[in-house]
Amino acid sequence: MFEERGILPCPPDGASRIGVYVCHCGSNIAAVVDVRAVARYAAKLPGVVVARDYKYLCSDPGQDLLAQDIREHNLNRIVVASCSPHLHEHTFRHAIAAAGLNPYLLQMINIREQVSWVHEDRRRATEKACDLVRAAVRRVRRHKPLENLRVPIHPDVLVVGGGIAGIHAALTLAGAGKRVYLVERQPSIGGHMAMFDKTFPTLDCAACILTPKMSAVKAHPNITLWTLSEVTRVEGYVGNYRVEVTRWPRYIREDLCAGCLECIEACVYKDAKFPDEFNLGLGKRKPIYLPFPQAVPQVPVIDPSTCIQFKTGRCKKTCVQACGERRAIDLEASEKVERIQVGSIIVATGFQAFDPARMPDYGYGLYPNVYTSLEIERLVNSSGPTAGELLLRDGRRPSSVGIIHCVGSRDRKQNRWCSRVCCMYSLKLAHLIRERTGAEVFNFYIDMRTPGKGFEEFYQQLLEEGVHFIRGRVAEVTDWALDPSEEGKLVLRVEDTLLGTVRRIPVDMVVLAVGLEPHRDAEEVRRMFNISCSKEGFFLERHPKLAPVSTFTDGVFLAGCCQGPKDIPDTVAQAGAAAAEALALIDTGYVEQEPNTAYVVEEHCSGCRTCISMCPYSAISMAAQDGQWHAQVNPVLCKGCGTCVATCPSGSIRQNLFEDEEIFEETEGVMAYV
Amino acid sequence: MSEPSGPSPRSEGAVFEPKIVAFFCNWCTYLAADLAGTSRLRYAPNIRVVRVMCSGRVDPQFVLEAFARGADGVLIGGCHPGDCHYQEGNYKALRRYHLLRRMLEQLGVEPERFRLEWISASEGERLKAVVNDMVEKVRALGPFGGLRDRQPIAEASLP
Note whether A674 contacts B: Cβ–Cβ < 8 A: yes
Q: Which residue has the higher pLDDT, A532 or A29?
A: A29
Q: What are the chain A neighbours of B36 within 8 Å (beta carbons)?
A: 113-114, 117-118
Residues ≥6 apart with Cβ < 8 Å to A570: none
Same domain, A316 and A430: no
| SS3 sequence of B79-129 | CCCCCCCCCCHHHHHHHHHHHHHHHHHHCCCCHHHEEEEECCCCCHHHHHH
Crossing angle of helices A85-98 and A60-72, in 10° steps, is 50
Residue A495 lies in a domain: yes
Domain containing A382 equals: 352-517
Q: What is the pLDDT along chain B (159 residues), one digit of tens a residue?
A: 444 443 344 445 578 999 999 999 999 999 999 999 999 999 999 999 999 999 999 999 999 999 999 999 999 999 999 889 998 999 999 999 999 999 999 999 999 999 999 999 999 999 999 999 999 999 999 999 888 778 887 665 555
Which residue in A605, A667, A611, A602 sits closest to A642, CA to CA? A611
Q: Is A135 on the interface with B (CB under 8 A)?
A: yes
Put simply, the answer to whether A639 touches B88 (Cβ < 8 Å) is no
* Residue A437 and residue A497 in one domain: yes
pLDDT for position B155 = 61
Residue A88 at interface with chain B, using a CB cutoff of 8 Å:
no
Could you tell me which of A515, A513, A514, A509 has the C-alpha nearest to residue A370? Answer: A509
Q: Look at residue B67 in the predicted model and tell me its pLDDT.
A: 94
Q: Contacts of residue B52 in chain A, CB cutoff 8 Å?
A: 642, 658, 663
- Chain centroid to Cα B131, Å, comes to 8
List, in sequence order, every residue forming a beta bridge with A344; answer none if it has no partner: A157
Nearest to A128 among B48, B54, B89 (CB): B48
Percent of chain A at pLDDT exceeding 70 = 98
pLDDT-based confidence at residue A15 (cuts at 50, 70, 90):
confident
In-domain check, residue A174:
no
Mark whether A366 and A491 lie in a shared domain: yes
Instruction: Provide the CATH number for the domain around residue A104.
Output: 3.40.50
| pLDDT the model gives residue B157 | 55
Do both A475 and A423 map to the same domain?
yes
Query: Does some domain include residue A547?
Result: no
Q: Which of A643, A644, A656 to mutate to test the interface with B (most CBs of B within 10 A)?
A: A643
Of A146-155, A544-553, B102-111, B127-136, which one has max mean pLDDT?
Answer: B127-136
Q: Which pLDDT score, from 0 to 100, does residue A636 have?
A: 84
Quick check: A112 pLDDT over 90? Answer: yes
pLDDT value, residue A400:
97
pLDDT the model gives residue A6: 38
User: What is the predicted ipTM?
Assistant: 0.91
Q: What is the pLDDT of residue A576?
A: 98
Q: Are residues A403 and A274 in the same domain?
A: no
Question: Phi, psi at residue A638, to the nearest 5°?
Answer: -70, 130
Q: What is the CATH number of the domain that holds A641?
A: 3.30.70.20
- A364: number of CA atoms within 13 Å, CB side? 20
CATH of the domain at A368: 3.50.50.60
Count of residues in chain B: 159
Q: What is the pLDDT of residue A672?
A: 74
Please check the confidence at residue A14 and state whether its pLDDT lies above 80.
no
A454 and A311 share one domain: no
Q: Quick one: pLDDT band at residue A126, thresholds 50, 70, 90?
A: very high
Residues A374, A318, single domain; the answer is no
Classify residue A330 as exposed, middle or buried by CB count within 10 Å of its CB (0-12, 13-18, 19+): middle
In a domain, A189, yes or no: no
Q: Which of residues 72-131 of B touch A (CB under 8 A)?
A: 82-83, 85-89, 92, 96, 120-123, 128
In a domain, A532, yes or no: no
Largest pairwise CA distance in chain B: 47
In the A/B pair of chains, how many CB contacts fall below 8 A?
A: 169
Q: Which of A486, A517, A548 is the last residue of a domain?
A: A517
- DSSP 3-state assignment of A353? strand
Contact B50 A37 (CB under 8 A): no
Q: Is A643 in contact with B37 (Cβ distance < 8 A)? A: no
In this structure, are A359 and A493 located in the same domain?
yes
pLDDT tens, position by position, A635-664: 988 999 999 999 999 999 999 999 999 999
How close does chain B come to A116, measured CA to CA in Å? 8
Is 80 exceeded by the pLDDT of residue A65? yes
Residues A369 and A316 in one domain: no
The reported pTM is: 0.86
B38:A113 CB<8 A: yes
Q: Identify whether residues A361 and A321 lie together within a single domain.
A: no
Q: Which residues of A touch B145 (CB under 8 A)?
A: none
CB atoms within 10 A of CB A532: 21
- Rounded to whole angstroms, the Cα distance separating A573 from A518 reads 20
Residue B146 backbone class (left: φ over 0; alpha: ψ -120 to 50; beta: rest): left
How far, in Å, CA of A65 to CA of A75, rounded?
12
* Contact (CB<8Å) B51/A667: no
Put simply, the answer to whether B4 touches A85 (Cβ < 8 Å) is no
pLDDT digits (tens, 9 = 90+) for A157-205: 999 999 999 999 999 999 999 999 999 999 999 999 999 999 999 999 9
| C-beta of residue A75 within 8 angstroms of C-beta of residue A19 | yes
Residues of B in contact with A672 (CB under 8 A): 69-70
Do A363 and A434 share a domain, yes or no? yes
What mean pLDDT value characterizes chain A? 94
Q: How far is B159 from chain A (nearest CA, A)?
A: 27
Distance from CA of B80 to the nearest CA of A (A): 11
Residues A504 and A391 in one domain: yes
**Alpha-carbon gap, residue B143 to A632, rounded angstroms:** 43
**Structure confidence by residue, pLDDT tens digits, A478-537:** 999 999 999 999 999 999 999 999 999 999 999 999 999 999 999 999 989 989 898 899
CB contact under 8 A, B5 and A673: yes
Average pLDDT, integer, range A423-452: 96
For residue A283, pLDDT beyond 60? yes
From A148, A180, A206, the end of a domain falls on A148
Domain boundary among A121, A148, A175: A148
Number of domains chain A is built from: 4
Structural contact between residues A83 and A62, judged by C-beta atoms closer than 8 angstroms? no
Domain assignment of residue A467, yes or no: yes
Quote the pLDDT of residue B1. Answer: 41
